[in-house]
Structure formats: structure tokens, C-alpha cells
Amino acid sequence: MNRILVVGSGSWGTALVKILLENKSLFVDWWVRDDKMAKKINAKGQNPRYLRSVQLDTSRLRADTNIEQLILDNDCILLVTPSAFIADLLKDISSDQLKSKKIISAIKGVEPNSLKIVGEYLFEYKDVKESDFGVITGPCHAEEVAQEKLSYLTFASTNEKFVDEICSLISCEYISVFPSADIYGTEIAAVLKNVYSIACGICLSLGYGDNFQAVLVSNAIREIKRFIAAVHPIDRDADDSAYLGDLLVTAYSKYSRNRTFGTMLGKGYSISSALMEMEMIAEGYYATESIHKLNDDYHIHMPILEFVYQVIYGTFDVEGEAKKLTLLLN
């Protein structure tokens, strides 16, 4: 593979472009939403909105707004847009246009209308083959990639050849990549950890200390294990970095936008005010409602999910719901 398309120009999209350009034999096409941003990226090699300190090699990079042409030009497409917008983004892209193309999701969310993780959405609505699909996940904040701090990713696909190719493609001096075949479990865990990060942020602002946070995160990984075992029961170790590691970094890091969103709610911000003040989208906001609805089919015991759901979509009683939660953890 010598060419790839990255779809999405947020901080994680920018970080992935940086990682890909470390491979000197690779040309990167980059879909962005507006012409002004595309021109600035092509002229200066910098994203004017996110990770502005990152300098990109423009000799092997082309930013453009014409997604249909970019898809036509590439056989491998890396999706990094917010999950809430994926259906609208691809609404004019036919199944034929994606036929035989490799699709990778680095989106940690659920498509809200279908309540499907990205892989399932692409399989059902765009006829993408499971063997042509892969997932990038793991405990990896874009801000630390920008600083070239050692980070670990997981690439999951049922296609072993595809796994080997992508693991080699995105490995570099500061990125290590683990292979996996668990496309469902890794995607669902990546969605859920954003919900639990919101819970951690809320409880932090309410004054719950490190002792409680440890219990909260311990219960959160158990909820993840129960849910992914019900949705896609295979032999997996949910203590691996793609599951537990991703939860930990999102729950504790200052870079976590979902944790930040939670801290704002804990401080008394309204939902609308918190969303407006944040510069980036908190995937956990959308994921909470989607996973809550999805759990209607499975009836898994998920008290932390229920806590976040009630705070955002139900009673809005932050302190009261937190008090209820403390009685349900162990």
C-alpha cells in the first residue's frame, strides 16, 4: 500500500495523518470540511484548528473537500469523523463506490440513528465486507502523539493479511501496534470507555476522591466485559490495552474530552452550555443514549451507564444520581 485517505480533520485525524506520514513511502490524501482549511494545510503543512504545533510533510500530503474524488483515488479509507456525522458524510457515497476498498474506523462512537457501531453500520448500509474492514483503537491521546510520546495502538480485523499490512504501515519510533481479530469487542469497548470517562469527570467535580475513582473504574471495566461478552461472545482478554488501557487513559487523563465534559456537568453546567463551551465533540454524549437503547435488547446490569444516562437524558439530578451510584458499586 502506498496511498491512503484519511477522512476527518479533528485532533485525532491530525494525529493519525502525522503517524501515517512517518512512513516515507506513503502518500496521504486528507478530506476536510472546508476549502479554507484545505488551502492552509496544503500551503503550510499545519491544521489551523487542531494540534497546530504539528508540522506535516506537504510533499506527500493533499488536503481536499471533494470526498467522492478522494474515495475514487484511494483503495484504503481511514474514517476519523465523529460518529454522529458518519451517516450524513456517506449519504451520497454508494456501495459500489466503496466496493473492494479497505475501510478502517478510528471512530469511537455509535451511529445514533441505527444504534450500530461503525463496522456494523458499514456492513449493513454500505455493503462493506467484514474482511475489508478494520478498527484502530487503544490508549492513545492525540496530544501525546503530537509530542511523539511513546504510545500503543491496536489494529483489529478478521483479515490477517490486512492486519499485518496496517500494523506495519502505522508503526514508527513512537507508535507500537498490536494485532487483533476482535473487531466488535474493540469497537464497543472504545465506545463505552467514553461514557465511563464522563462518569469519572462528574464524580471528580462532585468531590469524590481517588479512592472512589478507583472503585468506579474497576466497576466500569466489569461493565465493559459484561456488555461485549453479551453482544459478541468470543474468547478475549478485556484486560488488554485495547480495552482496559483505553478506559484508563480516558478516565484519568487531562486530555480526555469526555472526562472534561463530565467535570463541567459536575460543576453545574447545563448540557447545552457544556457542549457549546467544548471545542471538540465528546463522543460519550451520543454514545450514552445509543448504548442505553441498545441495552434494551440485552438487559445487562450497567449501573454506571444508567448513572450517566440519567444525568444527561433523564433526571438531570447530578448529585442525587451520584449518590444512588455509590450504593451500587463494589
CATH code where residue 267 lies: 1.10.1040.10
Task: Tell me how far apart the alpha carbons of residues 197 and 248 are, in angstroms, rounded to a whole number.
Answer: 9
For 35, residues 6+ apart whose C-beta sits below 8 A from its C-beta are 65
| Same domain assignment for residues 174 and 228 | no
Say whether pLDDT at 282 is over 90.
no
Task: Tell me how far apart the alpha carbons of residues 152 and 49 are, in angstroms, rounded to a whole number.
Answer: 25
Confidence band (pLDDT; 50, 70, 90) for 261?
very high
Question: Count of CB atoms within 10 A of residue 48's CB?
Answer: 12
| Same domain assignment for residues 192 and 119 | no
Distance of CA 158 to CAs 62, 187, 189, Å? Answer: 30, 13, 17
| Same domain assignment for residues 130 and 111 | yes
| Same domain assignment for residues 50 and 142 | yes
Domain-ending residue, one of 143, 161, 181:
181
Domain-ending residue, one of 126, 150, 181:
181
pLDDT for res 61: 98
Residue range 126-183, pLDDT digits in tens: 999 999 999 999 999 999 999 999 999 999 999 999 999 999 999 999 999 999 999 9
pLDDT for res 181: 97
Instruction: Tell me what the pLDDT averaged over the chain comes to.
Output: 96
Of 290, 41, 62, 258, the residue nearest 188 (C-alpha):
290
CB 78 within 8 A of CB 157: no
Domain that holds residue 314: 185-326
Q: For position 105, which CATH number holds?
A: 3.40.50.720
| Same domain assignment for residues 138 and 190 | no
138 grid coordinates: 487503544
State how many domains the chain has.
2
Task: Tell me how far apart the alpha carbons of residues 251 and 180 are, in angstroms, rounded to a whole number.
Answer: 23
Domain-ending residue, one of 141, 156, 181:
181
Confidence band (pLDDT; 50, 70, 90) for 280?
confident
